């Protein structure tokens, strides 16, 4: 996931060489940085649910201020305005695009991370464009090789398999 986000920053750096790569890296991760802050103060929420997906236990069930369409667009506009005010007039639109790209890539690559009713805005408003939560013991799609390698490298006991297999293995490990 991070490789894709940072890849956008590298591409934007080629298009806007005067913009700092560090600024672009911060811009592309701005939604996650804000999510961490909002999580700590209670504005956004997550649950740790073992076996929720094959590659992480996080049920990111309430993220309307950072990872919704309206929230991402608003933060992209704020970042564009701040960059413009700081004097980066040529790079400001690129910085805003970098911020918003996080939302687009999370929607494409984050399959299994969000609930089907990911809100479009903080007030709700139906289902958003976010990916769907996997239901049942098997995923709806096959994880990519990158996802599998992340799952394998996460811990020595971590191997790709069905959610039921992972839950059974976790129960065995927990009882040792």
Per-residue tokens: 93? 């639109």
- DSSP at 56: -
> What digits encode the pLDDT tens for the residues 56-111?
888 888 999 999 999 999 999 999 999 999 999 999 999 999 999 999 988 776 64
CA distance 91 to 98: 10
Please give the radius of gyration of the chain, using alpha carbons only, rounded to the nearest integer. Answer: 18
> What digits encode the pLDDT tens for the residues 100-144?
999 998 877 664 344 444 444 555 544 444 444 444 443 444 444
pTM of the model: 0.64
* Coil, strand or helix at 1: coil
């Amino acid at each position: 996931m991070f490789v894709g986000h940072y890849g956008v920053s590298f591409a934007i750096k080629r298009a806007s060489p005067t913009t700092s790569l560090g600024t672009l890296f911060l811009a592309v991760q701005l939604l996650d940085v804000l999510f961490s802050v909002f999580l700590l103060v209670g504005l956004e929420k997550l649950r740790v649910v073992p076996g929720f997906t094959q590659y992480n236990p996080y049920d990111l069930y309430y993220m309307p201020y950072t990872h919704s369409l309206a929230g991402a667009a608003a933060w992209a506009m704020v970042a564009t305005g701040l960059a413009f005010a700081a004097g980066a007039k040529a790079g400001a639109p690129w910085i805003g695009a970098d911020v918003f790209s996080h939302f687009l890539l999370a929607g494409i690559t984050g399959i299994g991370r969000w609930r089907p009713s990911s809100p479009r805005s903080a007030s709700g408003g139906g289902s958003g464009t976010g990916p769907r939560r996997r239901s049942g013991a098997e995923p709806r799609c096959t994880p990519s090789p990158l996802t599998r390698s992340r799952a394998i490298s996460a811990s020595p006991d971590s191997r790709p398999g069905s959610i039921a297999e992972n839950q059974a293995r976790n129960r065995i490990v927990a009882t040792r």
